[in-house]
Chains A and B, each alone.
Chain A
Amino acid sequence: MTVGLGVEWAVQWLTLSARLMAEHREELIALDRAIGDSDHGENMDRGFQAVMEKLAQTPPETPGAALKLAAMALMSKVGGAAGPLYGTAYLRAGTALGENADLDAAALAGALTAARDGIVARGKAELGDKTMVDAWSPAVEAADEVLVAGGDAVAVLAAAAEAAEVGAVTTDPLVARKGRASYLGERSAGHRDPGAASSALLLRAAATAAGFPEGPAE
């Protein structure tokens, strides 16, 4: 299993992301209703529908181009904080990949790092602030560990997905220090951060698109 991932993977990732955002729309709305403005599920669903429309209009030729296209659609159509945050993440990841058409483990780990760094730069959140960084940072660390251990592209994405899911769960007891939930102070504890939850879904979609495990995650 040393075959790299190409533009088909990137398009499949975005397609599965759109499907997961639609399927988990109500769940994300419920999470956001508890500690935010209850629009995260709706925003993400609409944003990824816009991504799908753009993909259909102008099929990208490289994974990097696919991610940049998604970035613009998300920044324009999401509406909430997730728009500029995910937009910046996908833009930085797409830029990191450049013209690379055949992504190996190192390229993917690098793209994940660039995405995480973009989110941190835009949102100025740190680990433990109860934000999507709490999903992305463990994901990047896990991806890097697999890369160092000699894992392939699929293994890198699988490790990132699992670490992001664990990271999202760890936001449950945290008190929010960034974003709309921070206005709630102590009352934000006991609820999962919606951005961390959607991040985990998106990273799961990346692994599923690469064939891990067979078929979409249930």
Chain B
Amino acid sequence: MTVGLVVVSHSRKIAEGAVELAAQMAPDVKFYAVGGTDDGRIGTDLEKAIAAFEAGLAEAAGDGVVVLTDLGSAVMTAESAADFCSEADKVLLADAPLVEGLVAAAVATQGGASAAAVKAAAEAVRFGPEPAIDMGGSAEPQGRGEPEESGEFELINPMGMHARPAAKIAGGLAGMDVEATVNGADGTSIMELMSLAVGKGGKLRIEAWGKDSSKAVDYVRRLVEQGFGEI
């Protein structure tokens, strides 16, 4: 669980500010803020990005780093930097909005997710909202029909659904061959799960479609029954 998170921004303040915000929710995660040029202007610096990637890769000891970027040329700088890295295949670029994506990635990392699941968690922020809106009404999810597996579980942990449980659910489901919703929200989206705001005694209803449906329902059941490891 030592995936490193790197922010590559045009601005040192944006990079450091985004890290500061995300670190509040993920105290054990290693962040690397890369922003601005070496002479303090707005821009992206290849050498600083390479240095941060290498530091993150060394610290991650094989678990890899996930990179969040701001505007287009930061993406290009990050891609170029990854090309020069010792373990280029372990540098994953998340196609996600910087702030929301970084927070989701941070919480997923804190929850122990793999680099691929951290990247998926960040990207779910971007692509998550649409299905949630579709599923908000009373109608069945379009094109999915009846869920293959489902279950309803009562939360017993005192804090209910918050960032870390959301990260555990999303991180686990992201690694399965399944489409799952929790109370209508995308089960792989930390931000959507957090926004459910279900407290202790409230219920999570998971509905799952796909090969790993029963595995997914069982996974969420066990997490809930164990109080997400918080009791």
Contacts and interface: CB of A to CB of B under 8 A. Distances in A.
Interface of A: 37, 39, 43, 75-85, 87-88, 122-123, 178-180
B73 interface: yes
B195 interface: no
B44 interface: yes
Interface stretch (B35-43, B166-174, B185-193, B206-214): B35-43
13 contacts: A43-B43, A77-B37, A79-B44, A79-B45, A80-B44, A83-B43, A83-B46, A83-B73, A83-B77, A87-B80, A88-B80, A122-B79, A180-B71
Contacts, number: 52
A178 B76 contact: no
Contacts of A180: 71-72
A77 B45 CA distance: 7
Interface of B: 37-38, 41-47, 71-73, 76-77, 79-80
A79 B80 contact: no
Nearest to B36: A79
B73 to A, nearest CB: 3
Nearest to A88: B80
User: What 4 pairs between A and B have smallest CB-CB spacing?
Assistant: A79-B43, A81-B73, A84-B76, A75-B46
A75 B84 CA distance: 12
B221 to A, nearest CB: 43
Given A77-B37, A84-B44, 14 more contacts: A39-B43, A75-B46, A75-B77, A76-B47, A78-B43, A79-B42, A81-B73, A83-B76, A83-B77, A84-B79, A87-B80, A88-B80, A122-B80, A123-B76
Contacts of A122: 76, 79-80
A83 B43 CA distance: 10
A37 B71 CA distance: 12
A200 to B, nearest CB: 20
A81 B76 contact: yes
A193 to B, nearest CB: 14
A178 B72 CA distance: 9
Contacts of B46: 75-76, 83-84, 87
B207 to A, nearest CB: 37
Contacts of B80: 75, 84, 87-88, 122
Contacts of A123: 76
B88 to A, nearest CB: 14
A79 B37 contact: yes
B10 to A, nearest CB: 8
Contact of B45 (A37, A76, A81, A82): A76
B77 A84 contact: yes
A168 B46 CA distance: 27
B129 to A, nearest CB: 22
A123 to B, nearest CB: 7
B45 to A, nearest CB: 6
B74 to A, nearest CB: 9
A85 B77 CA distance: 9
Contacts of B41: 79
A123 B75 CA distance: 9
Contacts of B44: 79-80, 83-84
Given A79-B42, A87-B80, A88-B80, A179 B72 contact: yes
A137 B137 CA distance: 50
With most chain B CB atoms within 10 A of its CB, the pick from A78, A83, A84, A87 is: A84
Contacts of B47: 76
Nearest to A182: B72
A77 B43 CA distance: 9
Nearest to B77: A84
B46 to A, nearest CB: 4
B73 A84 contact: yes
